[in-house]
Amino acid sequence: MNQIKFMNTTLERLIEIEIEREQTAGDPEFQQWMKEVGVSTRYKDPEPILRAREMNASYDFTKISSKRSKLSSYIIEVLIK
Protein backbone atom coordinates (compact mmCIF):
# COMPACT_ATOMS: atom_id res chain seq x y z
CA MET A 1 0.00 0.00 0.00
CA ASN A 2 1.36 3.43 -0.97
CA GLN A 3 1.44 5.79 1.96
CA ILE A 4 2.29 9.45 1.91
CA LYS A 5 5.01 10.13 4.46
CA PHE A 6 6.16 13.37 6.00
CA MET A 7 9.29 13.18 8.12
CA ASN A 8 8.81 9.40 8.58
CA THR A 9 5.16 9.81 9.63
CA THR A 10 2.25 8.68 7.48
CA LEU A 11 -0.52 11.07 6.51
CA GLU A 12 -2.99 8.90 8.41
CA ARG A 13 -0.92 9.21 11.60
CA LEU A 14 -0.65 12.97 11.16
CA ILE A 15 -4.45 13.17 10.95
CA GLU A 16 -4.76 11.00 14.08
CA ILE A 17 -2.33 13.28 15.93
CA GLU A 18 -4.34 16.36 14.94
CA ILE A 19 -7.59 14.75 16.16
CA GLU A 20 -5.92 13.78 19.46
CA ARG A 21 -4.59 17.33 19.84
CA GLU A 22 -8.05 18.82 19.29
CA GLN A 23 -9.61 16.42 21.78
CA THR A 24 -6.95 17.21 24.38
CA ALA A 25 -7.25 20.97 23.86
CA GLY A 26 -11.04 20.74 24.27
CA ASP A 27 -10.86 18.78 27.54
CA PRO A 28 -11.96 21.03 30.46
CA GLU A 29 -9.44 19.35 32.82
CA PHE A 30 -6.64 20.08 30.37
CA GLN A 31 -7.79 23.70 30.02
CA GLN A 32 -7.81 24.08 33.81
CA TRP A 33 -4.32 22.58 34.03
CA MET A 34 -3.14 25.06 31.35
CA LYS A 35 -4.45 27.94 33.48
CA GLU A 36 -2.84 26.57 36.66
CA VAL A 37 0.61 26.21 35.13
CA GLY A 38 0.32 29.43 33.13
CA VAL A 39 0.96 27.87 29.74
CA SER A 40 0.12 30.15 26.82
CA THR A 41 -2.59 28.96 24.48
CA ARG A 42 -1.48 31.25 21.67
CA TYR A 43 -0.05 29.33 18.79
CA LYS A 44 0.47 30.40 15.24
CA ASP A 45 1.22 27.85 12.57
CA PRO A 46 4.48 29.01 10.93
CA GLU A 47 4.09 26.73 7.91
CA PRO A 48 2.27 29.19 5.58
CA ILE A 49 4.86 31.89 6.28
CA LEU A 50 7.74 29.50 5.67
CA ARG A 51 6.12 28.28 2.44
CA ALA A 52 5.66 31.88 1.24
CA ARG A 53 9.30 32.69 1.99
CA GLU A 54 10.41 29.59 0.11
CA MET A 55 8.28 30.51 -2.90
CA ASN A 56 9.57 34.10 -2.88
CA ALA A 57 13.16 32.89 -2.63
CA SER A 58 12.69 30.70 -5.71
CA TYR A 59 11.19 33.50 -7.84
CA ASP A 60 13.24 35.94 -9.90
CA PHE A 61 11.82 39.38 -9.13
CA THR A 62 14.33 41.18 -11.36
CA LYS A 63 12.15 40.46 -14.40
CA ILE A 64 9.24 42.26 -12.76
CA SER A 65 11.42 45.19 -11.73
CA SER A 66 12.78 45.71 -15.24
CA LYS A 67 9.30 45.49 -16.80
CA ARG A 68 7.88 47.85 -14.19
CA SER A 69 10.75 50.27 -14.80
CA LYS A 70 10.16 50.21 -18.57
CA LEU A 71 6.43 50.71 -18.08
CA SER A 72 7.01 53.63 -15.70
CA SER A 73 9.38 55.26 -18.19
CA TYR A 74 6.84 54.83 -20.99
CA ILE A 75 4.02 56.32 -18.90
CA ILE A 76 6.17 59.31 -17.97
CA GLU A 77 7.08 59.89 -21.65
CA VAL A 78 3.42 59.74 -22.66
CA LEU A 79 2.37 62.12 -19.91
CA ILE A 80 5.12 64.62 -20.72
CA LYS A 81 4.14 64.82 -24.41
pLDDT tens per residue across span 47-59: 888 888 888 888 7
One domain for residues 28 and 56: no
Best mean pLDDT range from 18-22, 42-46, 67-71, 77-81: 18-22
Helices within the chain (DSSP H only): 11-26, 28-37, 47-58, 62-80
What's the confidence (pLDDT) of residue 80?
76
Put simply, whether the predicted model's pTM sits higher than 0.75 gets the answer no
Q: Which domain holds residue 69?
A: 46-81
Residues 53 and 71 in one domain: yes
User: What tens digit of pLDDT does each residue of 6-22 get?
Assistant: 667 788 888 999 999 99
Local confidence band at 38 (pLDDT 50, 70, 90 cut-offs):
confident
**What angle, 0 to 180 degrees and rounded to 10, lies between the N-to-C axes of helices 11-26 and 28-37?**
70
Residues 30 and 60 in one domain: no
pLDDT band of 3, cuts 50, 70, 90? low
6 with 25, same domain: the answer is yes
Beta carbons of 4 and 10 less than 8 angstroms apart = yes
Q: How many domains does the chain have?
A: 2
User: How far apart, in whole angstroms, are the C-alpha atoms of residue 29 and residue 49?
Assistant: 33
